[in-house]
A and B are shown apart, each in its own frame.
Chain A
Amino acid sequence: MSGHLSEEAVKQHVRIYRRVFLALGALTVLTVAVSYFHFSVAVAVAVALFIAVTKGSLVAAYFMHLKTERKIVWGILAMTFFFFVFLLTAPSLHHR
């Protein structure tokens, strides 16, 4: 987030933080509950990662203010994401 905020804008943020907190709590309970179902490994991984990505996105978008952040920060993150994916996939590419 950049620049100055009015008091009313900050109060609006606080209302959103409360909702995000509730959503994160609910998603945590959900991901634990889902783990008790005996899904196949592929489905279990997909569901767990989907919930984790949703939770991570909420934290980044609202708590880290990415939703209203400047382009340069998004640029840094896009580059980081590219190299992060490369790190994850490079070993498996090497083994082929």
Chain B
Amino acid sequence: MSESASSIRYINRPHPVTGVTNAKLGIWCFLASEVMLFGALFSTYLLLRTGSASWPHGPATLNVPLATLNTLVLIFSSVTMVMSWASLATGNFRKYRLYLGLTALMGCVFLVVKGFEYGHKFEHHHFPAASTFYAIYFTLTGLHGLHVIGGIAVNLYFLFRGRVLWQRDPERLTNRIECAGLYWHFVDLVWIFLFPILYLL
């Protein structure tokens, strides 16, 4: 069976009906489901907070400087992610690897900082069962952290398999990195809302 007959259609070229590649349509549908997943938890947070007699003030309870650092780390990682795509779009594979490596590294930095925050909380016996606030705090940040781990795994795959994929089909790799980027930016976007809601308000 030939390559064109066995592979998924409209990966590199936009589908004539939708105007976008099937891969991009797929990742946007996936992100829509992710919005609903986090949306349910944001709704839970809202209900718990408005329904409780008292709620801890974020800055007095959580580490704002560390979370600010993590916000900047994720924003920087979003820039390096989009720069890795731009590097591929201009045919510069060396820069692509550099930027994608930086993105994965920033993801790891985020998790390490988050690990310090969690460790500090556990030392003071602030577990998810400790209060309603900590229950929703650990659920939201924990689920977000799992998404960061997933993003790092995808980026590492494209980092180490990149050369083979680039030699096989450069255009396809560029499109795949754009889709991986859409997911990574979404993870950044979720944190942009989690940060003020949990830490600042």
A: which residues have CB within 8 A of B?
1-3, 5, 7, 10-11, 13-14, 17-18, 20-21, 24-25, 28-29, 31-32, 35, 41, 44-45, 48-49, 51-52, 55-56, 59-60, 62-65, 69-73, 76-77, 79-80, 83-84, 87-88, 90-92
A42, chain B: closest CB distance, angstroms: 11
User: Contact: A14 with B86, CB < 8 Å?
Assistant: yes
Given contacts A72-B19, A91-B47, 5 further A-B contacts (CB under 8 A): A20-B79, A21-B79, A63-B79, A64-B185, A69-B20
User: How distant is A48 from chain B, measured CB to nearest CB, in Å?
Assistant: 4
Count of chain B residues with a beta carbon within 8 Å of a chain A beta carbon: 49
Interface centre among B71, B82, B197 (most CB of A within 10 A): B82
- With a cutoff of 8 Å between Cβ atoms, the chain A residues found around residue B89 in the complex are 5, 10
**What's the minimum C-beta distance from B157 to chain A, rounded to whole angstroms?**
21
Residue of B nearest to A24 (CB): B75
Using known A-B contacts A1-B178, A59-B185, A83-B36, determine if residue A88 contacts B86 with beta carbons closer than 8 Å.
no
Q: Roughly how many angstroms separate A48 CA and B14 CA in the complex, as a whole number?
A: 39
The secondary structure that dominates the A interface is helix
Decide: B90 and A28 in contact? CB cutoff 8 A. no
Q: Pick the 6 closest A-B CB pairs, nearest first.
A: A48-B196, A35-B200, A70-B19, A80-B32, A84-B39, A87-B39
Q: How far is the CB of A91 from chain B (nearest CB, A)?
A: 5
| The one of A10, A41, A63, A65 that contacts B90, using a Cβ cutoff of 8 Å | A10
Partner of B200, one of A7, A48, A59, A65: A48
